[in-house]
Chain A
Amino acid sequence: MDDQHLEEIVNAVLKELAAMGIAPSSRTARSAPARPGESPPEVVIDLGDPATPAARGSPGVNHPADSDGLTALMETTPARIGVGRSGPRLRTRSLLLFQSDLAVTQDALMRDVDIKLLDEFNLFRVQTRITGGKQEYLLRPDLGRQLSNEARRVVAERCVKAPNIQLCVGDGLSAAAIEANLRKIFPVIEAGCKTGGLSLGTPFFIQYCRVGVMNDIGDLLHPDVLILLIGERPGLGRADSMSAYMAYRPKSGDTDAERDVICNIYDGGTNPLEAGAYTLQLAQKMIRSQASGVKLKLMEK
């Protein structure tokens, strides 16, 4: 809708109101009512970026009884505490931050992973059985758990069979998570395989990916351990978080009980470099124990 169109609507509404005898005030409702004897205050909306870490950490409560304590309390949680209010409502700053964070979340979800990043790591791209874009991806998780026929053909053709470690990357619910972490975690896993004397299969990228797709990959490639790096469902304003799902010799019919996961991988949770090294340590343990998931846990007891 362009501005001119908008203005036409506004004018039409104003005209209608006037016809009904309701005259809009010359001062808009946005400015605060003037106290008797005072000239009306000017409305100044001058807010810095509320999304910077410093702005997020600064309390919105006026005159707190213990400002050090409040700041310390706020540092213990990403929840929106200590933000203050204006009368019964959110402060403008809180509202803007909320909207900005929601936008980050939606962007991460709806966007595709940057192809340049995939090229950097020589990841070829395949798709699941989703054909109708992100909308269908969100509505049909069952289709996201299966490779398309074309994908099966390409994977079978291009990938080394029966490696110790097969590494796959999936967009999942956050393209931003893959973009934020892949450059850090990928080379650590790659180098770790070398140090640990493990063969690494041909890595590739899966679009419209759900975790269950690991079974299809297992059936096709028979790796000892499959590692799937996948974007996590973004939280409000937090879209960088990635998971590493892992399974020992995955195959059709496997469920989450056969899998392990390291979640919350991002600088701020488990950092991606360290997560990469830990992932490999866990993979080696899976190979030694010939098990993953619940079975591996029970063996530890």
Chain B
Amino acid sequence: MDGARQMVSVGIDIGTTTTQIIFSELTLVTVARAGQIPRLDITERRVLHESEIVFTPLLDAETIDAQRLAEFLRQEYQRAGIAPQQIETGAVIITGETARKKNADQILKAIADLAGDFVVTVAGPNVEGMIAGRGSGASSYSRQHFTTVTNIDIGGGSANSAVFRQGKLAASAAMNYGGRVIEISDGMVRAITRAGQWIMDSAGVYFAVGDRPTLADLHRVTDAMTEVTLHLIEGSTSPLAAKLYQTPPSPVSGRGKPVMFSGGIGYYFYDPIPLSTVADVSRHGDIGPLLAESLRDCPALHGYTILRPAETQRATVLGASSQTLILSGSTIWADQSILPLKNVPVIRPDLNEKPLNADTIAAAIGEALRRWDLNLDSDFFAVSHEFSHSLDYPQLVQIAQGLVNFSRSLPASRPLIAIIKQDYAQALGQTVKGLVGSRPLLVIDQVGLEEGDYIDIGAPLMDGRVVPLVVKTLIFYH
């Protein structure tokens, strides 16, 4: 097809328990209909290579072995026949509790040469839930069926929910439990996480490391986990759930709406194995399969339409590999010399219910910037905004003037970067450019961002009329 272009994208999921890597090929096609402004679309996502699912290498219970992890990844690059230089985009996700483990930085350094220039790191429970739900297919199912779907991704140490409405993320939430809250081998308890202990206390089950619990005891534990899973779906809480939540409960309840399960627990949910002994349960050294069985048997869940996702275990890594790249609108204003940019923090001026005049806008941007402790001489940042209504020309001029007035407080060579949700970037860019002189300028649209997001903006595509972006958030909860 005319104007098609391929990009190789990598997804690396370093989970609490397991690590996976997937290479995908994204096909970007120029879509031009007569009389319409041409735009760029991602039309195909093809998996080139997927790794085995391996245990995340650990030095001790707290620390990931960055060297062994890098070795594993290097091997997979070789198996896939892909050189790190070929990678144009993608994401590394350090999931769940691991993200809070002290050595996240060390890990990133160890794999920096593998991840390529434009691979970003995403972390934070809300992003994880979203990426898992896109990878599992919940997002596209909700779009294709004009419905609302809740994706529940439960792995070894973390459980994420994401509600998708017609393909768009409506809400998400996370808790820190999973199949590996209790580790068992040879019938003996080897470890209990802090979350595992809370769950046991709440279920009234008592055993300790070194004990040999009965199947019935373990069942009571996984039944309690099933109960908090219901809270995760429905956006509700309980004394136990409150301890496990890493985010506020989902503001959009999935009650009565179709549900999908992904992650390792999702795998056993749809393809159960017979569990008649503790040995059957602990085939992976934990109680994951039993949690899947408790969920299957849960009477409250029988009232739900349960959908089978396209991907279970690989949902997160697939999402990271193929669903993290987004494209700007195709009418933008970009001084190409400043691109690409990495790790640009996003500030959102508070303009709600304020008149759209230049002084108010400039003041609001300045105020938003003060909330961040940025060094204006060296740090880049982007100003993001959404307009609640369509703009007329005098308003456009006021907004442009506001940006220009604000930019006077910046060093002369500092680029002005504005990102707006509605399709006004080129008109705004043109207007600002007329006022701002030689300062480098980047105005892009059709991207909604929140304060606290960081973005990577890639080199322009399609004759400079579209930029690829990856949105990430590095906020760690608690």
What is A's interface to B at a CB cutoff of 8 Å? 66, 68-70, 72-73, 76, 183-184, 187-188, 191-192, 194-195, 243, 261-264, 267, 270-271, 273-278, 280-281, 301
Contact = CB atoms under 8 A, between A and B. Distances in A.
A280 B427 CA distance: 10
A279 to B, nearest CB: 10
A264 B35 contact: yes
**Most-contacted residue by chain A among B148, B333, B396, B433 (CB, 10 A):** B396
A188 B147 contact: no
B166 interface: yes
Contact of B146 (A72, A191, A261, A267): A72
Contacts of A273: 391, 393, 396, 424, 427
B393 A183 contact: yes
A277 B146 contact: no
A275 B423 CA distance: 10
Nearest to A192: B430
User: Which 3 interchain pairs have the tightest Cβ spacing?
Assistant: A263-B35, A277-B426, A72-B146
A270 B423 contact: yes
B430 A68 contact: no
A183 B391 CA distance: 11
A96 to B, nearest CB: 27
A26 to B, nearest CB: 49
A72 B147 contact: yes
22 contacts: A66-B147, A68-B147, A68-B148, A69-B147, A72-B146, A73-B146, A183-B392, A184-B393, A188-B431, A191-B430, A195-B430, A243-B35, A261-B35, A263-B36, A264-B36, A270-B37, A271-B391, A273-B396, A273-B427, A274-B427, A278-B37, A278-B426
Contacts of B413: none
Interface string B374-400: 000000000000000011110010000
A191 B396 CA distance: 12
Nearest to A263: B35
Interface of B: 2, 34-37, 145-148, 166, 331, 333, 390-393, 396, 422-427, 429-431, 433-434
A262 B393 CA distance: 19
B292 to A, nearest CB: 29
A271 B395 CA distance: 14
Given A195-B430, A273-B396, A262 B391 contact: no
Contacts of B333: 277
B429 A274 contact: no
Contacts of A267: 390
Given A263-B35, A275-B37, 13 more contacts: A66-B146, A66-B147, A72-B146, A72-B166, A76-B146, A184-B392, A187-B393, A261-B34, A262-B36, A267-B390, A270-B423, A271-B423, A274-B331
Contacts of B148: 68
A188 B427 contact: yes
B37 A262 contact: yes
A277 B427 contact: yes
A299 to B, nearest CB: 12
A298 to B, nearest CB: 12
Contacts of B36: 262-264, 270
A50 to B, nearest CB: 23
**Most-contacted residue by chain B among A76, A262, A274, A277 (CB, 10 A):** A274
Contacts of A188: 393, 396, 427, 430-431
A277 B35 contact: no
B434 A191 contact: yes
A97 B28 CA distance: 41
A169 to B, nearest CB: 16
Nearest to A72: B146
A76 B167 CA distance: 13
Nearest to A196: B430
A274 B424 contact: yes
A186 B425 CA distance: 17
**Most-contacted residue by chain B among A69, A72, A263 (CB, 10 A):** A72
B30 to A, nearest CB: 10
Contact of A195 (B35, B423, B424, B434): B434
Contacts of B424: 271, 273-274
A70 B145 CA distance: 10
Contacts of A191: 430-431, 434
Given A262-B37, A271-B423, A277 B429 contact: yes
Contacts of A73: 146
A262 B34 CA distance: 8
Given A188-B393, A188-B427, A264-B36, A277 B331 contact: yes
Contacts of A192: 430
Given A72-B146, A184-B393, A194-B434, A274 B426 contact: yes
Contacts of A301: 2
Contacts of A68: 146-148
Contacts of B2: 301
A283 to B, nearest CB: 12
A281 to B, nearest CB: 7
